[in-house]
Amino acid sequence: MSFFEALVKYAPDLLRGLYLTIELTLISAIVGFVFAVPLVLAVIYGNKFFKNISKAYITVVRGTPLLVQLFFVYYGLPSIGINVTPFTAALIGFLLNSAAYQAEYMKGGFLSITTEQMEAAYSIGMSKWQSIKEIIFPQAFRFSIPALSNEMIYLIKYTSIAYIIQVEELFAQAKYFASDTFYHLEIFLLIGAVYLILVYGVTWSSDWLEEKLKIPGFDVSHLK
Amino acid sequence: MSDKKEKLLQIKNVKKSFGKNTVLDGINLDVYKGDVIVIIGPSGTGKSTLLRCINMLNPPDKGNILIDGTDITGKGVDLHTERLKVGMVFQHFALFKHLKAIDNVALGLIKVKKMKKKKAYEKALRELDRVGLADHKEKYPAELSGGQQQRVGIARALAMDPLLMLFDEPTSALDPELIGEVLMVMKKLAEDGMTMLCVTHEMGFAKSVSNEIVFMEEGNIVEKGEPDQMFNNPKHKRTKSFLHKISELYGGEES
Amino acid sequence: MLEGITFIIDNLPLLLKGAWVAVQITVLSILLGMVLGIFIAFFRLYGPKPVQKLLKFYEWVLRGLPILVILFLIYFGLPTVGLNIPAFISVILGLGLRSSAYQSQIYRGAILSIGAEQMEAGLSIGLSRIRTLFYIIIPQAVRLSLPGFTNEFTIVLKDSPLAYALGIAELLKQGRNIIVTSFRPFLVYLTCAIIYFLLFHFFYYFFRKITEKFKVPGYLINK
């Protein structure tokens, strides 16, 4: 069988793998963001207790390898009675990981906003959380867009690691293909090209998003 | 002249230190409705700190501040309600950078005073018009000159209908040719009867618009009095020498 | 609880062997990345235009591909065209090549931010281009690169467990070996995580110390 004939035969599997990769990426990025917001708020504005817990969480997650975290979730949870599918384990691992990194990226955005903005908000009678919601967060978010798109790119690439814990995403499918057909070089080159296209897509989209959200005077290009 | 004038602000023996630095060393000041008070003094003498105490951005360590009879330094005070009584204009404008001019002014009305959007924007437009910037309402802060930004800042503070306005070196960060437009707005405000407390070096403004000048040095009020008296016949030597130096640098009548 | 600790202590030698492999992988890959990275940075700045374009493409590809794809291309793909590379070398090659793409950016950025004025100043006091490069530009570039380099080091360290996928007996694999005979995944992986964490912080503070030693008062690093 030629490479292309094999491709046709395995196309459904490969496409399914692609779908899982995209699903894993998007859910991890978005839910990770949702978790990251309270984390970063706790680190910057929280009281001692929440601040320290959040800081500890971020430090631990950022100080250990992603694969170890995945193993911990995938192999560790069943041993204390919680049974999860490979996909779920991967999802949990990725989003817990992503939340920590995204919180750290957003921290830079928050810190770069001057205290004067907060004071001005107070001076027109806003409360602390109102000021954060209306004034600080919209600005911090715009500053964080480059870093967040980098995180998305990171996730696209690193979902391939889920192969090691038996998730049948794109990379795993490629490996199965290679094991069956022995076209190792060809298939991994092809998959590589697919990943590059996905990464390029994210880069293009985030540039587009930045343009759309652009506000005169808000120059984030120096943060790229 | 002031037999039954309202006492809007009372500063009683306010003290504040930053670490080992005593910045305010027992300040006493009464402000009546309609007063336009200019606070002058060498840099670092706590003038800005005093203003920040009045709206509790930096609460005093000791002493009391009463706004319209309410002791805002006391316990159980809802600062957010009290802050509405005091408007603040910042040295570096502090406009909300992600909002257009009109949104900057309307935000407080919508979110704090809970006005309906239509009414809020109508009022915001009126305030912008008051400072002469109605035409620029759709512009972002980065698209405005320094003088224009500061005027928007004034409009934003005015929109909350404060009892008194604090000006923290409002023109110090402006290029010389832009200072005039801001001072003009402030002068008009004073003529309309707004109670104002200004920290500034603009002596022309002080001479022509204020009804009291307060000279602070090293955390204390050295002398205060009416402009005529302060400029022509100050009681303290330090007052005299400071005013002399300042008038040389900044002096002159304002338009 | 106590039993758990003795269990870990019994298996520590095996785990530490794995940790040592992880360190080796990291250091060798970083070194490869550094040598290549410097070359690439240099040629992207001063080389002929076609070479610059080629290197830009190289960087784009190596930063856009998942590391597993790179590793598998080398270890599984190359044999199909006759090039058999052992697993350990494959890992170093893969991580090193990828790191070179990131490191070249770091060095390029550092050199660019130093600015033409420094070169002009060197020339104006009579130094040749090469000597200015050596005495003026490079010392500054090294300092500016340190934060990025430290970051890259930790990234490679955190990716070293991927050698597991090529069957190499680094820390994670040793952990797995222990688990398949003892069925205590939670404890073992926790220990692995702790060891990585300690390694990570050790190197982080090691490079911090170096950055401190090299610091020049008032010289802005980054920003």
Q: Look at A79 and C185 and tell me if their CB atoms are within 8 Å.
A: yes
- Three-state DSSP state, C83: coil
Task: List the single residue in B55, B98, B140 with the smallest CB-CB distance to A123.
Answer: B55
Interface of A with C (CB under 8 A): 60, 63-69, 71-72, 75-76, 78-80, 153, 156-161, 163-164, 171, 175, 178, 182-185, 188-189, 191-192, 195-196, 199-200
The pLDDT confidence band at residue B254, using thresholds 50, 70 and 90, is very low
Q: Which residue of C has its CA nearest to A182?
A: C80
SS (H, E, C) chain A: CCHHHHHHHHHHHHHHHHHHHHHHHHHHHHHHHHHHHHHHHHHHHCCHHHHHHHHHHHHHHHCCCHHHHHHHHHHHHHHCCCCCCHHHHHHHHHHHHHHHHHHHHHHHHHHCCCHHHHHHHHHCCCCHHHHHHHHHHHHHHHHHHHHHHHHHHHHHHHHHHHHHHCCCCHHHHHHHHHHHHCCHHHHHHHHHHHHHHHHHHHHHHHHHHHHHCCCCCCCCHHHC
Chain centroid to CA C43: 20
Nearest Cβ partner of A164 from C165, C175, C190? C165
Q: A16 pLDDT band (50/70/90 cuts)? A: very high
CB contact under 8 Å between A120 and B140, yes or no, is no
Per-residue pLDDT at B145 exceeds 60: yes
pTM for this model (two decimals): 0.78
Average pLDDT, chain B: 88
Give B-chain residues touching A135 at CB under 8 angstroms. 96, 98
In the sheet that B195-199 helps form, which strands lie side by side, from edge to edge?
B86-89, B164-168, B195-199, B36-40, B212-217, B220-225
The residue with tokens 């996905």 is A198
Q: Do B108 and A126 touch (CB under 8 A)?
A: yes
pLDDT for the residue A114: 75
Q: Look at residue B2 and tell me whether its pLDDT is greater than 60.
A: no
The sign of the CA dihedral B57, B62, B67, B71 is positive
CA-nearest of A68, A70, A65, A59 to A28 is A70
Chain A and chain B share a number of CB contacts under 8 A equal to 79
Query: 3-class DSSP state for residue B23?
Result: strand
Residue B32 DSSP symbol: E
Instruction: Spell out, as residue ranges, where chain C has pLDDT lower than 70.
Output: 216-223
Examine the pLDDT at A223 and tell me if it is beyond 80.
no
Residues A181/A1, Cβ–Cβ less than 8 Å: yes
Chains touching B (at least 3 CB pairs under 8 A) are A
Confidence of residue B121 (pLDDT cuts 50, 70, 90): very high
pLDDT in tens, C140-198: 888 888 889 999 999 999 999 999 999 898 998 888 888 888 888 888 888 899 999 99
pLDDT band at B45 (very low <50, low <70, confident <90, very high): confident
**Mean of pLDDT values over B153-169:** 93
Nearest to A124 among B57, B98, B112 (CB): B112
Answer whether A124 sits within 8 Å of B90, measured CB to CB.
Answer: no
8 A C-beta contact, residue A159 and residue A195: no
pLDDT at A224: 42
Q: How many residues does chain C have?
A: 223
Of A68, A185, A196, the CB nearest to C80: A185
* DSSP label of C81: G
> CB A200 to CB C64 under 8 A?
yes
- Say if CB C65 and CB A196 are below 8 A apart: yes
Mean pLDDT of A45-53: 92
Tell which of B98, B107, B110 to mutate to test the A interface (max A CBs under 10 Å).
Answer: B98
Percent of chain B with pLDDT over 70: 96
- What does the block give as tokens for B146? 């320094």
Find the CB nearest C185 among A75, A178, A182: A75
User: What does the alpha-carbon distance between residue A105 and residue A98 come to, in Å, rounded to a whole number?
Assistant: 10
State chain A's mean pLDDT as an integer. 89
CA distance A41 to chain C (A): 24
- Six token digits for residue B111: 């979110």
Task: Tell me the per-residue pLDDT of A163-209, one tens digit each, with 9 for 90 and over.
Answer: 999 999 999 999 999 999 999 999 999 999 999 999 999 989 888 88
pLDDT of residue B97: 83
Mutation for testing the A interface, residue in B85, B97, B136 having most A CBs under 10 Å? B97
User: C touches which chains (3+ CB pairs under 8 A)?
Assistant: A
pLDDT 10s digits, B172-230: 999 989 999 999 999 999 999 999 999 998 888 888 899 999 999 888 898 999 998 88
Which uninterrupted H or E stretch holds B132?
none
CB atoms within 10 A of CB B78: 12
C203 vs A: CB within 8 A: no
DSSP string, C121-149: HHHHTT--HHHHIIIIIHHHHHHHHHHHH
pLDDT tens track for A87-109: 999 999 999 999 999 999 888 88
Contacts of A152 in chain C (CB under 8 A): none
Which two tokens mark B17?
């230190």
C82 φ/ψ angles, rounded to the nearest 5 degrees: 95, 0
How many CB atoms are closer than 10 A to CB A112? 13
> Is C12 part of the contact surface with chain A (CB cutoff 8 Å)?
no
Q: Give the residue on B whose Cα is nearest the Cα of A140.
A: B98
- Work out the minimum CA distance from C91 to partner chain A, whole angstroms: 15
SS (H, E, C) C5-32: HHHHHHHHHHHHHHHHHHHHHHHHHHHH
Question: Structure tokens of B154?
Answer: 């004034």
Complex-level ipTM: 0.86
Does A117 sit within 8 Å of B90, measured CB to CB? Answer: no
Helix axis angle for C49-64 and C87-114, nearest 10°, is 120
pLDDT bin (cut points 50, 70, 90) of residue A218 is low
- Residue B215 CB: number of other CB atoms within 10 A? 24
In this complex, does chain C touch chain B, defined as having at least 3 beta-carbon pairs under 8 Å apart? no
Contact A185 C157 (CB under 8 A): no
DSSP C166: G
pLDDT at C45: 85
Q: Which residue of A has its CA nearest to C180?
A: A75
User: Considering CB atoms only, which of A125, A135, A217 is closest to B140?
Assistant: A217
pLDDT score of B1 more than 90: no
**Hey, which bits of B173-227 come out as E strands?**
195-199, 212-217, 220-225
pLDDT band at A219 (very low <50, low <70, confident <90, very high): low
